[in-house]
Amino acid sequence: MIETPDYIKNLVPYSPGNRFKNEPAVEKKLINLASNENPIGPSPEARDALNRMSVILSRYPDTVSQRLVSRISEKYNLPNNRIICGHGAESLLENIIHSFSGDNSEILTTEGTFIGIYVSAQKLRKKLIVVPLKNYGFDLDAIRAHISKETRIIYIANPNSPTGTFFPKGDFESFMSKVPDNVLVVLDEAYILYAANQEGYFTGLDLDHENLIVLRSFSKSHGLAGLRVGFGYVPEQLISTLYKVKLPFEPNIVAQIAAEYAINDDRFVDQTIALNADMLNLMLKAFDRMSITYVTPTANFVLILFPNKDAASNFCEACQEHGIIVRHVSSFGIDNGVRISTGTESETRYFLEVLEKVYPEVGVEKVE
C-alpha cells in the first residue's frame, strides 16, 4: 500500500475564487469579482504577439527567459544578472523556500496574507510563525520582535492581499535595518502598480539589500493571470542557487513572449489603473452610504467586514445567486472578511445593484 506522509494528508488544496458552489439561479453573465483579475483582459500588445506565435509552439522555451529578462532590465533599470522569471510569483516563492531554509528553519509572516505562503510552508515541511495583523496590515514591529535564531525567511506583501493595506518606505527601511543579515526578506509586490498614489509609496526594486528578494507578477495589472508569469529581483550572490531548483522550462514560451510585450504596454497599464480607481470610488461611496465596514483599499480589490463568519459566508452565497462571485477569505485567516475585486464599469454597477438587494438580507450589523 502506498503511504502518504501526514504533512501531505493535512494539506488543503487551493480553492480558486472563480468557482460557483452551484449553478446560479440566474441567466446573467457570470461575473467574477473574487480573484483580483484584470477585468479588461490582457494587454493588446501581448494579445497581438500571441496571435503571431503559433509557429514556435513546438520549441522549448528559453531556460533563463533571456529576452524577457532584458525587457524587465530595461523597464526598471535593473541589472540582468539579478532577475529570474518563473510561473508566477508563487512558483518563485516556493523555490525561495526550497533554496534558503533548512529542516529546522522557521518562516515568519502574518496572519491574513497571501495563502500561498501558508501552503508552501506546510508542503515543504517548514515551521511557519504567524503574527497578528495590526489594523488589517503587516505589523512590522511585531514581525521583527518574533525573529529567532531559527528564522530564515520573512514573507511580506505590499500591498497585502486580501486586506489591501500598504506600508510606506520609511517603515520598511526601518524594519530592514533591524533584520539580521542571515534572514532573507521576501517582498511580494504583486499589486504595487495600483498603489503608486499612496503616501510613502516605494518599490523594492529601488532598494539594495543583500537579504531582500522582490517578487513581481504579470497576472494583475498586465492582465496575464492565465499564463502564470512573474519575476524576482534577487541579490547577485543568491540567484545562482534559485536556478538550481527552478524548473528548467518555466515560464513557458507563451508566457515569456506575452510578458515581453505586455511589460512595455504603458497605455494599457494606465487604462487599467484608471479604471480600477474609478470603480473603487464607486464601491466605496456605496459602502459609505450603506454603512458597510471596509478596509481602505490600495490595490484592485476591497475587503469588507462582517460581524462573523456566518454572515460573510451568507453574503457570498447570496451574491452567487445573482451571478456574482466574491471571495470569502476565511482560508486566508480572516473569517469575517469578503474580498471584492473591481470589474468593468458595467460589472461593478451590477454588483452594486446586487449589493443593495442582498446585504440587508444577510442580517448583518455594523462592525466596529
Q: Where are the domains of the chain?
A: 15-42+267-362, 44-264
Tell me the H-state helices in 160-250.
169-176, 236-245
The per-residue pLDDT for 45 is 79
The per-residue pLDDT for 4 is 43
Q: How far is CA 338 from CA 5, 94, 97, 293, in A?
A: 33, 26, 29, 11
Residue type, 365: E
Beta bridge partners of residue 130, listed in sequence order: 109
The per-residue pLDDT for 367 is 58
CATH of domain 44-264: 3.40.640.10
CB neighbours of residue 282 within 10 Å: 15
156 phi and psi angles, rounded to 5 deg = -135, 140
The per-residue pLDDT for 363 is 60
Closest by Cα among 192, 241, 184 to 217: 192
How large is the C-alpha radius of gyration of the chain? 21
Burial of residue 125 (number of CB atoms within 10 Å: 0-12, 13-18, 19+): exposed
The per-residue pLDDT for 194 is 97
Residue type, 172: F
Closest by Cα among 118, 115, 91 to 107: 118
The per-residue pLDDT for 34 is 84
Q: How far is CA 74 from CA 135, 205, 218, 260, 272, in A?
A: 37, 13, 16, 11, 22
Cell digits for 178?
A: 533591524
Under-70 pLDDT residues of the chain: 1-29, 53-55, 58, 363-368
Residue type, 67: R
Residue type, 202: F
The per-residue pLDDT for 5 is 58
Phi-psi region of 362 (alpha: psi -120 to 50; beta: other; left: phi over 0): alpha
Mode of pairing for the β-strands spanning 327-328 and 337-341: antiparallel
Is 119 in a helix, a strand, or coil? helix
The per-residue pLDDT for 31 is 85
The per-residue pLDDT for 322 is 93
* Chain centroid to CA 184: 19
- CA dist., res. 166 & res. 186, Å (int): 15
pLDDT tens for each residue of 157-180: 999 999 999 999 999 999 999 999
CB-based contact 166:159 (threshold 8 Å): yes
- CA dist., res. 261 & res. 8, Å (int): 39
- CA dist., res. 90 & res. 86, Å (int): 9
Q: Which CATH number fits domain 15-42+267-362: 3.40.50.1460, 3.30.70.20, 3.90.1150.10, 3.40.50.300?
A: 3.90.1150.10
The per-residue pLDDT for 166 is 97
CB-based contact 338:295 (threshold 8 Å): no
CB neighbours of residue 356 within 10 Å: 12
The per-residue pLDDT for 40 is 76
